[in-house]
Each structure stands twice: as C-alpha cells, then as structure tokens.
Structure 1
Amino acid sequence: MTDTDSPLYHVDGELVPADEATVSVDDRGFRYGDAAFETCRAYGGTIFAWDAHVDRLERTCEALSLDHGLSAADLRARIDETLAANDLEDAYVRLSITRGVQPGKLAPRPEVDPTVVVYVKPLPRGGVEGESVWDEPATVRTVETRRIPDAAVPSAAKTHNYLNGILARAELRGTDADEALVRDLDGTVAEGATSNLWFVRDGALYTPTTDGPVLPGITRAIVRELAAEADLRVHEGAYAVGDVRAADEAFLTNRTWELRPIGALDGHAIGGGPITDRLSRLYDERVERTCYE
C-alpha cells in the first residue's frame, strides 16, 4: 500500500474504504467506550504473539461481561483479510470489538450483536534487518494525571475508554515531551500513557509491578522472558519517580515502539545503554525467528 492508496478497513465482516467505514452513533463503543481492543504488529505477514493477544482480549471481554461469541480463528481471518486487501506484510494492526447497538441505557444487555473493526497501517520491517518506528529516544515528563485505581476500572482490561491516557498526554502540550509518566494515587510510578516502564540500576532491571494499576503489556512480558533467558535479574515492585531519574538506563515498551530508550525524564538525562541494547537485539532476533524465517 502506498501513501496515496485509500486503505481498506474490515467492518462487521466487510472490507470497506476508510472514508466509508462507519459504526452507528448508538453503538456502545461510541457512547460509553464499552469495547475491547488489541494493538498488534504484523511482521512479514505474521501477527507476532497472536496467542497472547487473544488471551488478553478474552480477559478484557470477561472483565466487561462482553460475550461476543467470536472465535480466535474468525478474528484472525478478519485480520489476515485486511492485511491482504491492503497488500501489507509489515503493519500496525488494531482489532476492536464493541458491545454493539443496544437501547440507550447504561446497563448492558447480556445478548450481544458485536461490532468488529480491523484497521491496519504500514510500518517498517522489523527483526534484525528492520528499523525502528521512532526517530529519537523518548522525552518523558511526569504528569499530575493519576492512573485510575484497579478497584474502579480493571487495569488489565484494554478498553476503548482511554480518557486517562488522553488527559495525561494533554498535559504534555507546550513541552518537548512525547510520553507521559503516570503515577498511582499514592505517587508511585505506574506506566506511560501508552507504554510500560523499565529502568536499569547496577546491572539489574526494574519495572512497576502489575499488582498496581498497570496494564500487563505483551511486549513487557516478552522482555521479561528475554531478560530471564539472558540471566538478567528482574525486580517488580513499587518505585518513586526519583528511582527512575537516578537510573543507569531506562526504556519504554509497547507493541509499536518495541523497546524505546528514555532520553530524558523531567529534564534529567538518562538514555539507553548496554542492557537496553542487548534486550533490543534479543527482541529483534525473536521477531526474526518467529516471523521472517
């Protein structure tokens, strides 16, 4: 797909041009953010860590009591059709499932006719021969917006209700930062607006625990596996912003960025380093083995 081509989206079983892709204004995903989604990456036509995405999607739907009735094979077929229709092998992929159209009342009905949308956009090749989607290390600022407590909205549920992250990113206006560092109500570091946080101190890795209000990212889980394979010590716990500022290295993870070093936090230079570089290389090697070879 070239920059001038009109992309095709997959909406409720049909491929339609992007400018014709619509959902009802009565759809609960639009009205209330009552929907689950997954952001995936296609490398060489393969959806990386697909099983992990399916598992998390199902956990989100269970948290929402959203019984959509669709199989993993059906959802994967819609993704594959969308990639093929757009002639893409390396791409950003977003899959959304809403509760669909129901009467305009807050309480959801158990019977669901879901709205399912897939859209894709091109990304560079990944793996050992690939290139990063980011040009520079991240510039990060700590924001006043706090992460919603897990007791209010399940942190592990990846839903359309992203207002928390939007408010965090809105605080970055007028600054040089491109990611927000969000804390919990106690002031403990949680995560970025759209990323998980890692930092390195004295040769060991640290990351906020998912016992707090932290989304358990799939890239985060893979990095943890790679660290174990490389005999790197990993600590999960509660950390202050000062712990991150004083780190030897720091980086962010999400599906699109993969591993992205933090160049500076609140004006304090940090940067990547040998452990960040090593994990990035191991990540690329896994993508290469899994998706390209």
Structure 2
Amino acid sequence: MSLIYHLDGELVERAEATVHVDDRGFRYGDAAFETCRAYGGTVFEWDRHLDRLGATCETLGMAEAVPDDLKARVDETLAANDLGDAYVRVSISRGVQPGKLTPSVEVDPTVVVYVKSLSRGGVDGDPVWDGSATVETVDTRRIPDAAVPVDAKTHNYLNGILARLELRGSTAEEVVMRDTDGFLAEGATSNLFFVDDGTLKTPAPGTILPGITRRLVVELADSVGVAVETGRYRQADLREADEAFLTNTTWELRPIGRADGAVVGGGAITNRLRTAYDELVEARCYR
C-alpha cells in the first residue's frame, strides 16, 4: 500500500508529496523538524516534541510557522495510513522564498507530516534495532553552541552526515562525536549514556542536542533510584564503562556492545531503565 503524507494541510499520496525547488528547506536546510513515535495510535511525549519544535522555529525567527492544528494533522496521517505503531516526522520549513540567503520577514511555511510503520512498543513489544550497537569515535567534532545553537533541531544535518561518512568501511553503526575540547558529546542521531560504578553518566547540556528520550531516561533513573551525573567525559571513560547505551525516539534505549573496539554492553542498570521505559509506554499508550 502506498503511504499517504500530510503536505500543507492536505493528505497526499507519497509519490505526489513534493516541495518547490525554491523552498528554503531544500535550498539551505532552513527548516525545523521533530521525530516522534506513535504507540497504539498515541504520539508519545507529544507535548515535549511540540515545545522543542516551537523553540527551534523561534530560534529560526519563524515562531508563527507552527500551525495550531499540527497534532490533528499528525492524527489524520496516522489514520489515513491505518497505523497505530509508527515513526512520525514533522517538518516545517520557512517555505518558498526568493533565492537569497537573507530570509523574508513574511513566512508561508511548508508543513509536512511523514509516517512509516514500526513494531509495537511497550511491555509486549520488540525493539526496532537488531542487537547491541557498535560505535566508533570519529574526528568530526560537534558544532559548538556559539556557532549553531545545539538545542535547535533543524534540517541542516551536515555535521552528522560528515561524522557518519567516517564509518565507511567500518562495522560501526553509530558515531560518537566529541566537542571542540575533545570531550564526549553525542552520536549523529543519538544521545549517549554510560554506567560507572553504579552511577549513570551522560554528557552535560551545552554541547549536545537535549533529546526527548534522554530527558525521559534521566527522569526514569531518578524514579528507580539510579544516581545520575552530567559532566564532561573522555573517550576512555566510555571504553572502560561498566555499561553503556544510546537513546533516541526510535531506538528508545539501545545498549552499546562495542565502543572503539572495546567490549562494553548493557547490564543491570540498562535493563532496569529499559523496563521502566517499556512500562511507561505501556501505561500511557496501550491501556
């Protein structure tokens, strides 16, 4: 069955869902987006995703671009595709404007909702990933906040693309980027956690995109009695960790099997947090 997307207020067949070549999202990456996950027809953590989308649009100087009926558009797209468990991506570009770098004050945004099927989540679900992740620290550094705001989730993913290009010829599935001072930052599409002597550690905000799943895991850790520390860590801290995992909306919590060749893996704390996450999804979305 052909997928149906939502484009500028209308449901459109995937093959017909196109944007103009003068759209600034295409020309410059001048657009905001959010990747969400629907479980049983409910978009998990929607309010937080919407808040971050609005904040990114505000950073881009187009706060008014987020439509009031955006949630309804997402629900319509899921229903049109008969999907309850799905990947959901919402994109908002500045729209079609003349081919010059300086944006116009007036904004006529292009708004797209894209969905695809995923497996069931929650207590009775299955992860979308196949096995623990292998990660590799790369030379590409995370762009500093002083250059591009790290909390803005935009279409311009060149930083992550260049980092992933370094994996060509490698068996690694995700990169670990460092900041310009050499401290651990994040993956191309994921946040990083590791366990050291019973404490859950994660790079501090300021050099990372503060992920929705990352924030939720920190909250869950507090609820199940796991101490959490944020700070600045070196490459060796990850390689020598007792446990480690990655987080993002699609993967949820994915254990790191190997980091730069060193065996790490999951463990009791990773499993406890994965269980807590599954139980939360089950309670909010399937009951």
Could you tell me which residue of structure 2 aligns to residue 235 of structure 1?
Answer: 229
The residue matched to 1:41 in structure 2 has which SS?
strand
Aligned to 1:61: 57
Q: Contact 1:68 / 1:114 at 8 angstroms: preserved in 2? A: no
1:110 to 105, 112, 127: 105
Q: Distance in 1 between matches of 2:278 and 2:217?
A: 11
Identity level (%): 68
| 1:285 partnered with 2:279 | yes
Provide structure 2 residue ranges, at least 5 long, that are not aligned to the other structure.
none
Deviation at 1:67, TM superposition (A): 2.9
Could you tell me how far apart the structure 2 residues matched to 1:256 and 1:69 are? 25
Deviation (angstroms), 1:16: 1.1
Secondary structure of 2:131's counterpart equals coil
1:66: how far off? Answer: 1.3
Letter paired with 1:266? D
Q: Does 1:7 align with 2:3?
A: yes
Give CA-to-partner distance per residue, 1:205-237, whole Å, 9 cap, x none: 0000012x2000000000000001011110000
Aligned residues: 287
| TM-score, normalised relative to structure 1 | 0.97
Cα deviation, residue 71, structure 1: 4.0
Residue 68 of structure 1 aligns to a residue in which SS?
A: helix
Deviates more, 1:10-19 or 1:213-222: 10-19
In the alignment, does 2:152 pair up with 1:157? yes
Letter in 2 for 1:242: A
| Partner residue in 2 for 1:51 | 47
Contact residue 124 and residue 130 of structure 1 kept, 8 A: yes
Check if 1:133 corresponds to 2:133: no
Residues 126-164 of structure 1: CA distance to partner in whole angstroms, max 9, x if unpaired?
000000000110000000111001011100000000010
CA distance in 1, matches of 2:78, 2:282: 19
8 Å Cα contact 2:183-2:233 kept in structure 1? yes
Q: Aligned partner of 1:142: which letter?
A: T
Q: Which deviations, in whole Å up to 9, do the C-alpha atoms of 1:22-80 show, x marking residues without a partner?
A: 000000000000000000000000000000001101111111111334444x0001100
Instruction: Report SS of the residue matched to 1:38.
Output: strand
Seen in structure 2, the aligned counterparts of structure 1 residues 70 and 57 have a Cα distance that, compared at 3 Å, is: closer
Give 5+ residue unaligned stretches, structure 1.
none
- By how many angstroms is 1:17 displaced? 1.2
Instruction: Supply the distance in 2 between the matched residues of 1:174 and 1:46 (Cα, whole angstroms).
Output: 39
**TM score, norm. by length of structure 2:** 0.99
How far apart in 1 are the matches of 2:31 and 2:66?
14
> Corresponding residue for 1:142?
137
